[in-house]
Structure 1
């Protein structure tokens, strides 16, 4: 995994979609691509492209479960980067909670598999 530099972190977080993905993963722990796509109301290819950039920079880890790929924040990211993400989360917590609650209402399930079918 390449060393994450501050400029790379801030470039990654300067995009609204990527920032929202990171903050949602901070809130929920782990989500699959379809859950993230549904929550942000974006296409799966767009979300997957942004997730790949975040994964390549060392911010995210992924795991495959059948046809689904689940993402989570990497516990291996530098401590300074985790602090930046935590502070961003604390600033945006209310908005992220509303977004995640709205997704649960829209989907009729708290990030369950039916969203992904």
Structure 2
């Protein structure tokens, strides 16, 4: 799960950075505010890569997905990109857990079939 979720978060890191460049063109938003909010979100993406398997890591990832969709208020394209990354996040969590379970089953079968003296 860690690899799939981290890949999604790294993709989001870049999308947030590019969205910030678009948001800077909005005359109602100050450059400092855009980069403060975007910078926090980008740091959160990187930090989540390290804590994704800890309790609450997936929930924080979902919160980031919601914030990404909500950023569509300022950059309308983010409604679409946020939904795409939300779907990728779901797939990363869902299939990542299935892969982890399959690896655990495989390891247990391998341990059962190995000689006890080895």
Pair in the same fold by TM > 0.5: no
Query: Which structure has greater helix proportion?
Result: 2
